[in-house]
Amino acid sequence: MTKTHSMGISRRGLLGAFAATAVTAAPTFANAFSFLRGAGDIRRIRLHSGRTGESIDTIYWIEGDYIPEALAEVNHFMRDWRTDGIKKIDRRAVDIIAASHNMLEADSPFLMLSGYRSPKTNAMLRSRSSAVARNSLHMQGQAADLRLNGRSVAQISRAAISCSAGGVGKYSRSNFVHVDCGPVRIWGR
């Protein structure tokens, strides 16, 4: 995708200016792939990190095209906050997160507990908990651990499971849901 400029406004800037209107007007349960039901012609991701205090609220896909600048923002946001390492986040994972959030019809963003993890961070977490996988998809930029104010682990996991597009782990004791774009599977309580 190439940037076009008109009077100093990029396509990204123009999209941002119309984001609120476009998201409101986006059709729900459109003719889309099953895991993107409700995503409409515009896909938006909204996340907050309690670790860094940062938030992201961006349209990253419109009418069949991913927006590279928006995906670069997602990559930076989902970085390993312990090492500041950045990995390209798999678009499928971004789509699953966005579709799940959209199905939950929530006003607040997902709270992201963990996105990309460097091998060093994953090894450290694994030494503290047997629940951390040795070959975690977090290290591939294909997973996120999420929580949402006003929604239970059961509600979030049902939305993610309905995408039928990857793994969903329920961690009720820790109050979060793991979503990934790996093989379809479900675990946890």
Say how far apart CA 176 and CA 169 lie, in whole Å: 9
pLDDT > 60? residue 116: yes
- The alpha carbons of the chain give a radius of gyration, in whole angstroms, of 16
In percent, the amount of the chain with pLDDT more than 90 equals 74
CA 174, distance to chain mean position in Å, is 19
Flag whether the pTM goes above 0.95: no
Q: Are 145 and 116 in contact (CB under 8 A)?
A: no
For residues 50 and 111, is the Cβ–Cβ distance under 8 A?
yes
State the pLDDT at residue 131: 85
Decide if 112 contacts 48 (C-beta within 8 A).
yes
On the question of pLDDT at 25 being above 80, the answer is no
pLDDT in tens, 43-88: 999 999 999 999 999 999 998 999 999 999 999 999 999 999 999 9
Return the number of other C-beta atoms located less than 10 Å from residue 53's C-beta. 7
Question: Tokens in use for 123?
Answer: 């090894």
> What number is the average pLDDT over the span 128-154?
95
Q: Which two tokens stand for residue 105?
A: 């019809």
φ, ψ at 153 (rounded to 5°): -55, -40
Domains and CATH numbers, the chain: 11-188 (3.30.1380.10)
Token readout for 73 is 């923002």
Q: Which residue has the tokens 């390209």?
A: 88
Its sign, for the CA torsion 109, 107, 162, 70, is negative
